[in-house]
Chain A
Amino acid sequence: MKKLLLLIPCILMLAGCQPIKNKRVELNQNAGQILPISALAIDKEDDLYKMTIESIRQDSLDGEVTPEYFTVKADDFSKLFYNADMMFASRLYLSHASVVIISEEIARFDIDKLIDSLIQRPDVRLTLRIAVSESASPDEILQAPSVTDGIPGMALSSLIEKRTKDQTFKDFPMFRILDYRLNGRDIALPVLILSDDGHAAPDSSIIISKDGGIKYA
Chain B
Amino acid sequence: MAEIKFTTSLEHNIQVLKNIFKDDNTFITRKAKSKNGLSCAVCFFDGMVNNLAINQSIIRPIVSCYESTVTAETLAETIIQINDSIVQTDLNKMLSAMMYGDTVILTEGESRPVVVNTKGFSVRSSSEPDNERVLRGPREGFTEVFMTNLSMIRRRLNDSRLKFSFSRMATHSQTAVCLCYIEGVTDDKLVKEIKKRLNNIDLDGILDANYIAECIRDEQNSPFPTLGTTERPDVVAAKLLEGRVAIITDGSPVVLTAPCILQECIQANDDYYLPVMQASLARIIRSAGVLLSIIIPALYIALLYYHAELLPTRMLLAITAAQKGVPLPPLWEIFMLLIVFEILKEAGARTPGVIGSTMSIVGGLVLGQSAVSARIISAPAVIIVAIAAVTGLAAPKLQNAALYLRFVLLVCSALFGLYGLILGLSSVLLHLCALHSCSVPYLLNLLPRVNAHTEDRAIRISWRQMKNKRFIAGRGKK
Q: Please state if B309 and A125 are interface contacts (CB–CB under 8 Å).
A: yes
Would you give the shortest CB distance from B477 to chain A, in whole angstroms?
A: 27
Please indicate the chain A residues that have their CB under 8 angstroms from the CB of B322 in the complex.
31, 61
Q: 1/0 per residue B306-322: CB within 8 Å of A? A: 10110001101111111
Partner of A25, one of B305, B309, B316, B423: B305
Q: Is A93 on the interface with B (CB-CB < 8 A)?
A: yes
Q: Please state if B417 and A17 are interface contacts (CB–CB under 8 Å).
A: yes
- Bound CA–CA A13/B321 (angstroms): 35
A62 — nearest CB in chain B belongs to which residue?
B321
- Bound CA–CA A56/B312 (angstroms): 13
Q: Is A10 on the interface with B (CB-CB < 8 A)?
A: yes
Q: Please state if A27 and B414 are interface contacts (CB–CB under 8 Å).
A: yes
A16 — nearest CB in chain B belongs to which residue?
B419
Please indicate the chain A residues that have their CB under 8 angstroms from the CB of B417 in the complex.
17, 25
Q: Is A148 on the interface with B (CB-CB < 8 A)?
A: no
Known: A14-B416, A17-B419, A27-B414. A95 touches B308 (CB 8 A): yes
Please indicate the chain B residues that have their CB under 8 angstroms from the CB of A36 in the complex.
313, 316-317, 320
- Bound CA–CA A95/B317 (angstroms): 13
Binding-face segment, B17-25, B257-265, B289-297, B326-334: B326-334
Partner of A34, one of B308, B326, B414, B419: B308
Q: Is B304 on the interface with A (CB-CB < 8 A)?
A: yes
Q: Please state if B305 and A58 are interface contacts (CB–CB under 8 Å).
A: no
Q: Restricting to A80-102, which residues have a CB under 8 Å from any CB of B?
A: 93, 95-96
Please indicate the chain B residues that have their CB under 8 angstroms from the CB of A13 in the complex.
419, 423
Q: Please state if B306 and A32 are interface contacts (CB–CB under 8 Å).
A: no
Known: A17-B419, A58-B317. A25 touches B306 (CB 8 A): yes
Would you give the shortest CB distance from A64 to chain B, in whole angstroms?
A: 9
Known: A14-B419, A17-B416, A27-B414. A96 touches B321 (CB 8 A): no
Please indicate the chain A residues that have their CB under 8 angstroms from the CB of B414 in the complex.
27
Please indicate the chain B residues that have their CB under 8 angstroms from the CB of A103 in the complex.
none
Would you give the shortest CB distance from A182 to chain B, in whole angstroms?
A: 25
Q: Please state if B317 and A56 are interface contacts (CB–CB under 8 Å).
A: yes
Please indicate the chain A residues that have their CB under 8 angstroms from the CB of B330 in the complex.
30-31
Q: What is the size category of the interface that chain A forms with chain B?
A: 20 to 34
Q: Restricting to A1-15, which residues have a CB under 8 Å from any CB of B?
A: 6, 10, 13-14
Please indicate the chain A residues that have their CB under 8 angstroms from the CB of B313 in the complex.
36, 38, 56, 96, 154
Q: Please state if A95 and B309 are interface contacts (CB–CB under 8 Å).
A: yes
Q: Please state if A34 and B309 are interface contacts (CB–CB under 8 Å).
A: no
Q: Restricting to A136-166, which residues have a CB under 8 Å from any CB of B?
A: 154
Q: Is A167 on the interface with B (CB-CB < 8 A)?
A: no
Q: Is A60 on the interface with B (CB-CB < 8 A)?
A: yes
Would you give the shortest CB distance from A216 to chain B, in whole angstroms?
A: 32
Q: Is B324 on the interface with A (CB-CB < 8 A)?
A: yes
Q: Is A119 on the interface with B (CB-CB < 8 A)?
A: no
Please indicate the chain A residues that have their CB under 8 angstroms from the CB of B316 in the complex.
34, 36, 96
Q: Please state if B306 and A123 are interface contacts (CB–CB under 8 Å).
A: no
- Bound CA–CA A123/B308 (angstroms): 9
Q: Is A183 on the interface with B (CB-CB < 8 A)?
A: no
Q: Is A213 on the interface with B (CB-CB < 8 A)?
A: no
Q: Is A59 on the interface with B (CB-CB < 8 A)?
A: yes
Please indicate the chain A residues that have their CB under 8 angstroms from the CB of B318 in the complex.
58, 61, 63
Q: Restricting to A22-69, which residues have a CB under 8 Å from any CB of B?
A: 25, 27-32, 34, 36, 38, 56-61, 63, 65
Closest 3 CB pairs of A and B: A95-B309, A31-B323, A58-B321
Query: Which residues of A pack against B, CB within 8 Å?
Result: 6, 10, 13-14, 17, 25, 27-32, 34, 36, 38, 56-61, 63, 65, 93, 95-96, 123, 125, 154
Interface CB pairs A-B, < 8 A, 12: A6-B430, A10-B423, A14-B416, A17-B417, A17-B419, A27-B305, A27-B329, A32-B323, A34-B316, A59-B324, A93-B308, A96-B313
Query: Which residues of B pack against A, CB within 8 Å?
Result: 304-306, 308-309, 313-314, 316-326, 329-332, 378-379, 414, 416-417, 419, 423, 430
